[in-house]
């Protein structure tokens, strides 16, 4: 049968030619070379893709090119784009199954309001038109639970079921890459699912600051405030970035008060607890402490393996168990690093048509992990601090509050926080069985003293140098 110039197969071939002309050969080999046309009927274009990895690669890197190309080649006939994804189900002996998913963005249709622009209450969109800016992949279903995040996840699910009825505000904190952004996005998505009438908005503190600055420049601060006062669930990421920005903090204070008084949910995240964020207005700090604070620690080795195994299953990848265990044992800084290694392994495997094995992972790992000696322990820090101040370890573990011992104890807590990956709870347990609030206070005390006292700065500098030898 002879194909006409308007047949789907020929139109798809034209699309591939355009893709080749607009990206590098390596990019094409890793992405579109594996994509086939499944069907095109009634304005619905369905593409066959071999894995979730390739689908993500297309969406995250080439979606604008794809949309413009499809409109150019298929014309106004195209209405929506779907992916037919092949997934290897490890639980069923490697059985291959298919699932069809619509793209996260509409190919042809009215543009949705962009919440990244400076908001204006005059043009504030209705619920169905407000882009929540949530990451659709960050869901509770793929948020793997472990000891390090169990409390935060439990609180998050409670909030999602009953916004503003349980914990409000909810302040989640922890080091970079521990899963905070995933969790707060999951809460937002669940709220949208269970309460579709609610206006949910996620954004970073940096973007909030940029929007506020634009509003000041355009003389639209009142519009800016009124827009945010219409939100039912406000999710603000990386709150520490508000530090020192007095006018932005003042504006957020008024927004916070309005939302809280009117029973709206507020969710916040930061890389440290509120009390440890310097440059934060006292009245804002007080409000951040009103609700629930939950710490997410760095994932344990067991949780890191579970995260890797879930990602491999979700994306239909074929990676040996010994490779996953090796990665989980050697990458302990960030969940993002775990995902980065898996993506790199998959990209190498696709481009060079090779199997994923220990040889390949050992080639890629140095890009993500620096060579490490045995990690520093809290006991080693205590011993060094006691030698430095001519004290016994039993002194700083004791309840004695003489100035010299109390100061040394605070220094030990500060250095344990700065030089180990232990949580405030773990540090407190190792130093006299103190609670995490005592540790947070000690860290703040030393930081404050370092700002004004040269002797404290010298003590910390010398002790840090000794411990890093």
pLDDT of residue 155: 93
Choosing from 295, 330, 354, the residue where a domain stops is 295
Torsion of CA 39, 44, 45, 50, to 10 degrees: -80
**CATH number for the domain harbouring residue 448:** 1.10.1750.10
pLDDT of residue 165: 87
Query: Does the residue 372 lie in any domain?
Result: no
**CATH number for the domain harbouring residue 209:** 3.40.50.300
Q: Does 278 lie in the same domain as 214? A: yes
Q: Does 290 lie in the same domain as 251? A: yes
Main-chain phi, psi angles of 108, to 5 degrees: -140, 120
Q: Does 74 lie in the same domain as 37? A: yes
pLDDT of residue 125: 58
Rounded Cα distance between 193 and 161, Å, is 10
- Domain total in the chain: 4
pLDDT of residue 367: 60
Q: Does 317 lie in the same domain as 282? A: no
| pLDDT 10s digits, 50-63 | 777 778 778 878 88
Supply the mean pLDDT for the chain: 82
Query: Does the residue 120 lie in any domain?
Result: no
Query: Does the residue 146 lie in any domain?
Result: yes
pLDDT of residue 328: 81
Query: Does the residue 233 lie in any domain?
Result: yes
In tens digits, the chain (469 residues) has pLDDT values of: 444 567 888 889 888 988 888 888 777 877 888 888 888 888 888 888 877 777 877 887 888 888 888 888 887 777 778 887 764 343 344 343 445 555 444 455 444 555 666 666 545 556 556 788 888 888 898 888 888 888 999 999 999 999 988 888 999 998 887 889 999 999 999 999 999 899 999 999 999 999 999 999 989 999 999 999 999 999 999 999 898 899 999 999 999 999 999 999 999 999 888 888 888 888 888 888 888 999 888 888 888 888 888 877 776 667 788 888 888 877 766 677 777 777 777 777 766 677 777 877 777 776 655 544 557 889 889 999 999 999 999 999 999 889 999 999 999 999 999 888 888 988 999 998 899 899 999 999 999 898 888 889 888 988 988 887 6
Q: Which of 326, 304, 268, 309 is nearest to 421 (CA)?
A: 304
**CATH number for the domain harbouring residue 23:** 3.30.300.180
pLDDT of residue 118: 62
pLDDT of residue 95: 42
pLDDT of residue 371: 47
Query: Does the residue 445 lie in any domain?
Result: yes
Domain that holds residue 187: 129-295
Query: Does the residue 37 lie in any domain?
Result: yes
Rounded Cα distance between 179 and 237, Å, is 12
Rounded Cα distance between 277 and 380, Å, is 28
**CATH number for the domain harbouring residue 343:** 1.10.8.60
Choosing from 85, 102, 119, the residue where a domain stops is 102
Q: Does 200 lie in the same domain as 87? A: no
Structure tokens at 353: 């048509």
| Residues paired with residue 88 on neighbouring β-strands, in sequence order | 96
Q: Does 268 lie in the same domain as 140? A: yes
Q: Does 278 lie in the same domain as 230? A: yes
pLDDT of residue 382: 92
Q: Does 273 lie in the same domain as 144? A: yes
3-state secondary structure of 422: coil
Q: Does 61 lie in the same domain as 12? A: yes
Q: Does 35 lie in the same domain as 94? A: yes
pLDDT of residue 298: 81
Query: Does the residue 121 lie in any domain?
Result: no
3-state secondary structure of 102: strand
| pLDDT 10s digits, 329-342 | 777 666 777 777 77
Q: Does 318 lie in the same domain as 283? A: no
Choosing from 245, 273, 295, the residue where a domain stops is 295
pLDDT of residue 431: 93
Beta carbons within 8 Å of 11's beta carbon, 6+ residues apart: 40, 73, 74
Q: Does 288 lie in the same domain as 143? A: yes
Query: Does the residue 259 lie in any domain?
Result: yes
pLDDT of residue 202: 93
């Amino acid at each position: 049968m002879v194909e006409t110039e308007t047949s789907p197969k020929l139109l798809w071939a034209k699309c591939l030619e355009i893709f080749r002309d607009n990206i590098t050969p390596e990019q094409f080999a890793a992405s579109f070379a594996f994509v086939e046309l499944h069907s095109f009927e009634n304005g619905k274009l369905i593409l066959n893709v071999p894995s979730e990895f390739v689908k993500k690669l297309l969406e995250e890197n080439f979606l604008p090119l794809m949309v413009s190309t499809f409109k150019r080649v298929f014309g106004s006939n195209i209405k929506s784009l779907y992916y037919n994804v092949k997934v290897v189900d490890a639980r069923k002996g490697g059985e291959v199954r298919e699932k069809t998913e619509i793209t996260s963005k509409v190919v042809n249709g009215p543009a949705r309001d962009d919440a990244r622009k400076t908001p204006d209450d005059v043009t504030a969109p209705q619920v169905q038109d407000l882009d929540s800016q949530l990451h659709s992949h960050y869901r509770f279903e793929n948020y793997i639970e472990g000891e390090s995040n169990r409390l935060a996840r439990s609180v998050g699910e409670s909030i999602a079921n009953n916004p503003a009825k349980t914990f409000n505000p909810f302040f989640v904190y922890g080091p970079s890459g521990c899963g905070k952004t995933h969790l707060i996005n999951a809460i937002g998505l669940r709220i949208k699912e269970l309460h579709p009438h609610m206006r949910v908005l996620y954004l970073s503190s940096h973007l909030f600051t940029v929007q506020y600055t634009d509003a000041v420049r355009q003389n639209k601060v009142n519009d800016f405030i009124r827009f945010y006062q219409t939100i039912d669930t406000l999710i603000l990421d990386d709150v520490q970035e508000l530090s020192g920005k007095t006018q932005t903090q003042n504006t957020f204070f008024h927004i916070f008060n309005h939302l809280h008084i009117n029973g709206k949910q507020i969710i916040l995240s930061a890389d440290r607890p509120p009390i440890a964020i310097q440059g934060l207005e006292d009245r804002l700090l007080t409000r951040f402490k009103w609700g629930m604070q939950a710490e997410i620690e760095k994932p344990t080795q067991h949780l890191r393996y579970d995260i890797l195994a879930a990602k491999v299953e979700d994306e239909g990848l074929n990676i040996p168990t010994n490779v996953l265990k090796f990665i989980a044992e050697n990458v302990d800084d960030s969940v993002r690093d775990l995902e980065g290694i898996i993506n790199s392994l998959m990209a190498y495997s696709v481009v060079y048509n090779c199997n994923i094995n220990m040889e390949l992972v050992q080639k890629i790992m140095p890009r993500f992990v620096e060579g490490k000696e045995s990690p520093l322990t809290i006991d080693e820090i205590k011993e060094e601090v006691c030698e430095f101040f001519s004290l016994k370890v039993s002194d700083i573990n004791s309840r004695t509050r003489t100035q010299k011992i109390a100061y040394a104890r605070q220094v030990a807590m500060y250095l344990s926080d700065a030089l180990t990956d232990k949580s405030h709870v773990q540090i407190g347990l190792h130093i006299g069985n103190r609670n995490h609030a005592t540790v947070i206070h000690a860290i703040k005390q030393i930081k404050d003293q370092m700002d004004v006292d040269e002797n404290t700065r010298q003590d910390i500098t010398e002790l840090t140098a000794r411990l890093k030898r």
